[in-house]
Structure 1
Amino acid sequence: MWTECGIDERLRDLFKEVDASDLLYLYGDPAYYPGYGIMGPFRPTLTRNLTSEEEAANILMSGERIVVEWAFGLVTKAWGFTAFKKVQKVGLSPVGAYYFCAVLFTNIQTCVRRRNQISDKYSCLPPVLELYLA
């Protein structure tokens, strides 16, 4: 999905307009880096321990990664078939299309309900359905 969505190219295009001192990064798990504009947790090396700031950043971002897991949980709770690995077989069924639709419908539910646990955590209302689908 990462490749098909062209996120790497989109990040490069976005960052063309940004001063090097203002670069932003997406925080991702090891599956996504060393992709362009992606960073993960700080890691110690054989010759260097983490600084206290790096350790604090890792702790903070670990909590944010849990929120991402909540999003996966919302999808699989509402659309249980997305969690059945024995049924979802790449090459035998359109796994990506199924998951894409499940995420779309989950987002629609969130817009209609005007909240979910993630929007509650960040005190951020989801968009109205008409705006989301526009």
Structure 2
Amino acid sequence: RYYQIFGDPAYGVSPVLLSPFSGAGDRTEEEKEWNNVMGSVQVSVENVFAIILANWPFLQAFWKHWVYTSPVGRYYYVGVLLTNAIGCSRPNQTSQHFQCSPPSVQEYFYR
């Protein structure tokens, strides 16, 4: 499978990152509709990031992370992993919105 992330236009476009169509007056109706649909999904994804940061405040403690010495990406990865594990036993608002039943904790870690 090939996955892509839909993000803010400030991040640009790459093989793994999509951005909304730009140019307010130059977009077709299909492009406007696509932007609207994807924008609602983007808000849901941003809500999940907020859940992760609420569960693990250390991830926001930028004053404790040192450039080139703190493995911030690894910290965040662990925060996502543990938040997903919590979501297996207590589905969050985002999974309920998309009617997506989470796997059991056993399935999540050993699949």
Q: Do these two structures clear the TM 0.5 threshold for a shared fold by scoring above it? A: yes
CA contact (8 A) 2:6 2:38 kept: no
- RCO (CA 8 Å, sep 6+): is it higher in 1 or 2? 2
- Identity among equivalent positions (%) equals 32
Q: Hey, what does 1:124 align to over in structure 2?
A: 100
Letter in 1 for 2:85: I
Per-residue deviation, residues 58-107 of structure 1 (Å, max 9, x unmatched): 11211110011011111111000101222223313111111111111101
TM-score (norm 2): 0.83
Aligned length: 108
Q: Give the number of the structure whose alpha-carbon radius of gyration is greater.
A: 1
Aligned residue runs from structure 1 range 10-49, under 5 A: 11=2, 26-29=4-7, 30=9, 31=11, 33=13, 35-36=14-15, 38-44=17-23, 49=26
Q: In angstroms, what is the RMSD of aligned CA positions?
A: 2.2
- Structure 1, gaps ≥5 residues long: 1-9, 12-24
Instruction: Give unmatched runs, 5+ long, in structure 2.
Output: none
Instruction: Tell me the equivalent position of 2:83.
Output: 106
- Equivalent position to 1:96, from 69, 73, 76: 73
